[in-house]
Amino acid sequence: MKGGTGRNIGESSVRRLRRGRLMLPALALSTLALVGSPRAARAEPSESELAAARTLGVEGVKLASAGKCSEAIRLLERAAELYAAPTILVPLARCQLQEGELVAAVGVLRKVLDAELPADAPKPFVDAQNEAEGLLASALPRLPRLSVKVEVLGDSQPKVSVDGKPIAAGELDSLALDPGMHQVRAEAPGYLPGAKAVRLKEGDRAEVTLILKPKPADAEEPDPIEPPPVHDAGADRGEHDPTLTWLALGVGGAGILVGGVCGIIAAQKEAQLSKDCPGGKCPPTSDADLANTKSYALASTIGFAVGVVGLGVGGYLWFFDGSDQAATPSGKRGPRVGAFIGVSRLGLTGEF
């Protein structure tokens, strides 16, 4: 694949874009005035469409002048659907260029230039059309183009798509795309599909070649996969094993217990240390007590964390698993979880 490098807009184009930004407030006023003038359009829209286009166009131009092009594009597109005035389409194209939507912007600018304005067209319409010519001249060199070639034996006609959109055969030699990552895919009857990813920058001229290989002669179409049968949760409501629920609740309760006990011990030791360490300075004999205090504090934090998680999981299973867990099945002994605390260790015991 061959790729070019991004091209920067020339100095004159930058000046033209700057002038365009300065013109946005004026365009907002002209849009407000001209969208309500039926003689400026080829086909007269209804009064309600004019009012909606006027509101959307003015708000969109204001957003564009404030640098909020992503929001302005949506409003200006809706306004253009109702009334495709040049004073709406040119700000729309300018924002699309700024957001990297080069293909859409070029299409909008060509629409403005293809429109034949009447001899008595308002001056803002004529000015917008003149500006569109300059914007299009600066946008075309920025537009990346991709050439797609498909190698396949025989007379099979491959179908090519880019980003999931079918591409006509006549467009494969020079396909205009926006900058960014694109997925190219080709398919043909009797051949394995081919695909490649390509990243394009502004001004790139790239080429992608896809080689389609024939399907193996013994390759058969896979049998259709039948969906699994729908499981009725209520059918086995009474057969649910509540062990996991009780285990989670037991672990959660034990965690809270461990966290509470260790927290109390840590608080007592901290109080004793505050007496033995006046002014925050502890004698060497207090190092062991200080280390034990930190250990109990850490154990308390971990215990509470485990407790919260355990109780949360247990509560979810209790209320949302669709089973009755008010009591363990008759004849079965529910799981038991307990905590033990020693001088230098703590832990959990359980029976399931």
According to DSSP H, which parts of the chain are helical? 11-34, 47-65, 69-82, 86-98, 102-114, 123-139, 243-276, 287-320
Mean pLDDT of 27-53: 59
Residue 105 lies in a domain: yes
Give the percent of the chain with pLDDT over 90: 37
Where does the pLDDT of residue 185 fall: very low under 50, low under 70, confident under 90, or very high at 90 and above? very high
Q: What pLDDT was estimated at residue 321?
A: 59
The residues, ordered by sequence, that sit 6+ positions from 59 with a Cβ below 8 Å of its Cβ are 75
Number of structural domains (the chain) is 3
Q: Which of 126, 141, 156 is the last residue of a domain?
A: 141
Q: Which of 141, 159, 190 is the last residue of a domain?
A: 141
Residue 268 lies in a domain: yes
Residue 217 lies in a domain: no
Mean pLDDT of 269-278: 75
Residues 152 and 135 in one domain: no
Residue 170 lies in a domain: yes
pLDDT of 48 strictly over 60: yes
Where does the pLDDT of residue 131 fall: very low under 50, low under 70, confident under 90, or very high at 90 and above? very high
Residue 269 lies in a domain: yes
- DSSP secondary-structure letter at 239? G
In the β-sheet with 145-151, what is the strand arrangement from edge to edge? 175-176, 145-151, 205-211
Residues 246 and 324 in one domain: yes
Cα–Cα distance for residue pair 85/75, rounded to 1 Å: 14
Residue 27 lies in a domain: yes
Note the pLDDT tens digit of each residue in 198-245: 999 999 999 999 999 888 876 555 555 565 565 554 444 444 567 777
Q: Which residue has the higher pLDDT, 17 or 204?
A: 204
Host domain of residue 168: 145-211
Cα–Cα distance for residue pair 212/186, rounded to 1 Å: 8
Residues 23 and 107 in one domain: yes
Residues 195 and 285 in one domain: no
Residue 289 lies in a domain: yes
Q: What pLDDT was estimated at residue 10?
A: 39
Residues 103 and 155 in one domain: no
Tell me the CA distances in angstroms from 225 to 110, 222, 228, one per residue in order: 49, 8, 9
Q: Which residue has the higher pLDDT, 292 or 107?
A: 107
Residues 199 and 118 in one domain: no
pLDDT of 342 strictly over 60: no
Of 3-12, 23-32, 129-138, 190-199, the range with the lowest mean pLDDT is 3-12
Residues 172 and 128 in one domain: no
Cα–Cα distance for residue pair 37/87, rounded to 1 Å: 13
Residues 17 and 126 in one domain: yes
Q: Which of 211, 233, 263 is the last residue of a domain?
A: 211
Residue 167, domain CATH? 2.60.40.1120
Residues 135 and 18 in one domain: yes
pLDDT of 138 strictly over 90: yes
Residues 205 and 256 in one domain: no
Residue 37, domain CATH? 1.25.40
Residues 175 and 103 in one domain: no
Residues 41 and 121 in one domain: yes
Q: What pLDDT was estimated at residue 123?
A: 93
- DSSP secondary-structure letter at 343? S
Of 119-123, 290-294, 300-304, 323-327, the range with the lowest mean pLDDT is 323-327
The β-bridge relationship of strands 205-211 and 145-151 is parallel
Residue 255 lies in a domain: yes
Where does the pLDDT of residue 280 fall: very low under 50, low under 70, confident under 90, or very high at 90 and above? low
Q: Which of 155-159, 179-183, 275-279 has the highest mean pLDDT?
A: 179-183
